[in-house]
Structure 1
């Protein structure tokens, strides 16, 4: 409870101080003080990846931006298609099961009966309306393709503002993307946001979606650090050479992944 309140206060202060820009400044300062726990990557830059690549879900030790975590959290993962959110989305859109009869709705109903307000809802009617918004999201993605949050805010600010401020809390509304974490070997796991949107993207067999990286394993971060320091491909270990095409590494090098030649790297941006 103490950590949640502390993190919530920190987000509010950073939002008032300048949102994303303040967040970047804060994380750069933290990295100088504790480089082992903060990534060099800009956590607010989106990666566009194939949703099929995100096949497992994991809960990391931290939900804060830009974190580097050691330990075995990346080994404690479950198949994404076995999650309640995916199962409920699949049942509704593929088998026409009403939202009220899905497993996830039942879980939220139990929370309502226990006196909670899941998703900001105080009644079953409000909860059902919240789930029915997923129908609109599904149709929009199927018709217009998947849009990033900045694109959606630019196109429909009034609608986005109503949805965001009613249900969600984060540093900046444009950060309400699907979040992922990257394990020690580069595996990409679903994180703590956007599970319904990821499920929809999978059902629609989309080629790519925007995601934000919440957390990286310390061993994966060591690969980023190695690439950042290298000036020639010959300086890289075999472990790093084998991962040059990973979407989280493309911003760090100009090496040709298909060649063993010592291609000159481009400067880091």
Structure 2
């Protein structure tokens, strides 16, 4: 039933892109309401199940160099989801606040090997044209085959998208990296949801493995730019935690593990700091 609602909302949103603005706005409002409801429910369930909070809207500042591996797609095609880990193919809001067991955190797919990162490095570090990058070639090929990528269904629309990426990169370089809520307050292209929606939809999203490793989920454009600009830290949200990592967090909150017993890199971990 939930999957059916998700499918209907997302399909309706795509159809509404070319319809009357008031109809489009109605569809967007329904999607935002549904997203917000899901995130609030995930937070409430987490408060019941776990001693350590799993607030999906909390921001953590993380060194982008520490986000190395990914469970998300790395190549651009008409069916990017096939490139993702099976446990992580749901929309972000349906992953928010979840705790998964399993071997998903042992993946060996590297973010720096992704089409987006390699192409952004070529564009912003070496100055090649967008048209020369795999990002452009893979995206326009997928669009030609009927895909809609980042709201673009034509080559001209995608060209405008590339210009927006140039603007974003230069804005970060000149004005620093801003959170989605800061962008919204300054009227600078922030995601147009409420506070929680802006954070979950708009910020870089990561998962945390059993050993505390940050594993990439979404927000590849901003993460790639942050890495290329060698930023010291960026805001991220944590969507999924490994069951063993969450167990450690719960033990810290219950006092079963003292702060002094933790290894330095664990004690200073952004997802542990607020608990000790």
> 1: distance between equivalents of 2:171 and 2:267?
34
Conserved in 2, the CA contact under 8 Å of 1:244 and 1:250? yes
> 1: distance between equivalents of 2:44 and 2:237?
21
> 1: distance between equivalents of 2:52 and 2:139?
35
Offset from partner CA, 1:178-204 (integer Å, 9 cap, x none): 00111010111111x211111111111
Offset from partner CA, 1:59-91 (integer Å, 9 cap, x none): 451442111111111111312211111001001
> 2: distance between equivalents of 1:239 and 1:232?
8
**What stretches of structure 1 of length at least 5 have no aligned partner?**
254-269
Give the corresponding residue for 2:3.
3
**What stretches of structure 2 of length at least 5 have no aligned partner?**
11-27, 73-84
CA drift of 1:6 comes to 2.9
> 2: distance between equivalents of 1:93 and 1:28?
39
Change (3 A) 1:40 1:77: farther
- The alignment status of 1:86 with 2:117, answered yes or no, reads yes
Give the corresponding residue for 1:265.
none
Conserved in 2, the CA contact under 8 Å of 1:153 and 1:174? no
Q: Secondary structure at the match of 1:108?
A: helix
Give the corresponding residue for 2:172.
141
Conserved in 2, the CA contact under 8 Å of 1:14 and 1:23? no
- The alignment status of 1:179 with 2:205, answered yes or no, reads yes
> 2: distance between equivalents of 1:72 and 1:129?
40
Conserved in 1, the CA contact under 8 Å of 2:52 and 2:250? no
Change (3 A) 1:7 1:214: farther
Count matched residues: 239
> 2: distance between equivalents of 1:239 and 1:124?
53
Change (3 A) 1:219 1:92: same
CA drift of 1:120 comes to 1.4
Change (3 A) 1:202 1:66: same
> 2: distance between equivalents of 1:130 and 1:210?
23
CA RMSD of aligned residues (A): 3.2
Give the corresponding residue for 1:229.
254
> 2: distance between equivalents of 1:239 and 1:100?
49
Change (3 A) 1:128 1:2: farther
Report which of the two has the higher share of helix: 2
- The alignment status of 1:31 with 2:46, answered yes or no, reads yes
Give the corresponding residue for 2:79.
none
TM (norm. structure 1) is: 0.77
> 2: distance between equivalents of 1:120 and 1:127?
8
> Mapping of 1:162-173 within 5 angstroms?
164=191, 172-173=197-198
> 2: distance between equivalents of 1:5 and 1:97?
43
Change (3 A) 1:7 1:218: farther
CA drift of 1:240 comes to 6.7
> 2: distance between equivalents of 1:86 and 1:154?
29
Given candidates 10, 16, 24, the residue that maps to 2:33 is: 16
- The alignment status of 1:44 with 2:57, answered yes or no, reads yes
Conserved in 2, the CA contact under 8 Å of 1:180 and 1:215? yes
CA drift of 1:136 comes to 0.8
Conserved in 1, the CA contact under 8 Å of 2:43 and 2:97? no
TM (norm. structure 2) is: 0.76
CA drift of 1:212 comes to 0.5
Offset from partner CA, 1:204-231 (integer Å, 9 cap, x none): 1111110011111111111111111117
Q: Secondary structure at the match of 2:189?
A: helix
Change (3 A) 1:17 1:76: closer
